[in-house]
């Protein structure tokens, strides 16, 4: 391949195979945000199930703290999924960690919808 000046021009490098783009770490800022929010959601869920759910019913501060804690936890999960979806659609992020964040966001969405749609 020759340019107008007569010098040879190399062809553009081939793009990475699809599996290489999947197994790498996130490359965009939104991808990292979604992974961070998903990690926070996971940690908050572990704390909720190991500490708060094992408290006796007569603990007075549990009634006050637990609704706000659960709201914050679910917002972290939903935000992880939404930000991950934006990173994939708009910035073509393909990291498996971002896909996992979307999966956790979907789990949080199903959980929130179940609370509203299924009567207790």
> Angle CA(101)–CA(34)–CA(29) in degrees, nearest 5?
140
12-35 residue pLDDT tens: 455 777 666 667 889 999 999 999
Residue 47 is encoded by which pair of tokens? Answer: 């704390």
Domain boundaries, the chain: 19-117
Each residue's pLDDT tens digit, 46-104 = 999 998 888 888 888 888 889 999 999 999 999 999 999 999 999 998 899 999 999 99
The torsion angles phi and psi of 41, rounded to 5 degrees, stand at -65, -45
Write out 46-85 in H/E/C secondary structure: HHHHHCHHHCCCCCHHHHHHHHHHHHHHHHHHHHHHHHHH
The residues, ordered by sequence, that sit 6+ positions from 28 with a Cβ below 8 Å of its Cβ are 87, 91, 93
What is the model's pTM? 0.79
């Amino acid at each position: 391949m020759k340019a107008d000046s007569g010098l040879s021009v190399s062809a553009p490098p081939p793009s990475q195979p699809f599996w290489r783009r999947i197994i790498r770490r996130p490359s965009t800022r939104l991808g990292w945000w979604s992974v961070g929010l998903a990690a926070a959601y996971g940690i908050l869920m572990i704390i909720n199930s190991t500490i708060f759910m094992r408290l006796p019913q007569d603990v007075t501060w549990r009634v006050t703290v637990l609704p706000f804690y659960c709201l914050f936890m679910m917002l972290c999960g939903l935000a992880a999924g939404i930000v991950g979806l934006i990173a994939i659609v708009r910035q073509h992020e393909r990291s498996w960690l971002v896909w996992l964040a979307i999966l956790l966001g979907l789990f949080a969405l199903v959980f929130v919808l179940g609370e509203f749609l299924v009567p207790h």
